């Protein structure tokens, strides 16, 4: 083989390797996007719009997933779930009857309710506060 043939073979081999690498990268990126869209639902679109960049939004959502994985989240008991559902139904009814009073009542706001349910699920107060921005799909 002469030098020209070796250069042509090396060029095509490099091109094929680059095409395969690009295909793997695109496949992985598309799979990650589908998984994040499936997990976060409308939150994915909201985050992409607010960040102005889907890649940045995906990075933030992945960071959120990592942070939530570190939390020791225990499921609510049936009794706790029922109690929280009753309180929420009562809060909604109160809001319909008297919106101004319902909004002014701190017990009906998301903050205290979220922290209370977080403690019931085993989150420490600091974790509960940090997770307040992680309410999409995972409530801790």
* SS3 assignment for 17-73: HHHHHHHHHHHHHHHHHHHHHHHHCHHHHHHHHHHCCHHHHHHHHHHHHHHHHCCCC
The answer to whether 76 and 84 are in contact (CB under 8 A) is yes
**Contact between residue 102 and residue 108 where contact means Cβ atoms under 8 Å apart:** yes
Would you state the pLDDT for residue 138? 45
pLDDT, position 136: 44
**For residues 61 and 33, is the Cβ–Cβ distance under 8 A?**
no
Provide φ and ψ at 92, rounded to 5°.
-65, -40
pLDDT of residue 140: 37
Per-10-residue mean pLDDT for the chain, 140 residues long?
Answer: 91 97 96 92 90 91 88 86 88 84 68 55 56 47
- Supply the pLDDT for residue 4: 92
Entry pTM: 0.52
- What per-residue confidence (pLDDT) applies to 139? 41
Going by C-beta distance under 8 Å and a sequence separation of 6 or more, which residues neighbour residue 13?
none
What is the predicted pLDDT for the residue at 123? 59
């Amino acid at each position: 083989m002469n030098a020209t043939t070796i250069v042509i073979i090396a060029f095509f081999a490099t091109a094929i390797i680059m095409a395969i690498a690009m295909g793997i990268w695109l496949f992985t990126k598309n799979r990650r996007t589908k998984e994040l869209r499936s997990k976060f639902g409308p939150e994915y679109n909201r985050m992409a719009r607010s960040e102005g960049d889907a890649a940045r939004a995906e990075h933030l959502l992945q960071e959120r997933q990592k942070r939530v994985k570190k939390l020791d989240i225990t499921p609510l008991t049936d009794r706790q779930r029922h109690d929280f559902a009753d309180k929420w139904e009562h809060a909604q009814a109160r809001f319909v009857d008297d919106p101004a009073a319902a909004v002014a009542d701190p017990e009906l706001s998301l903050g205290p309710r979220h922290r209370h349910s977080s403690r019931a699920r085993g989150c420490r107060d600091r974790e509960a506060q940090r997770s307040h921005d992680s309410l999409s799909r995972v409530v801790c």
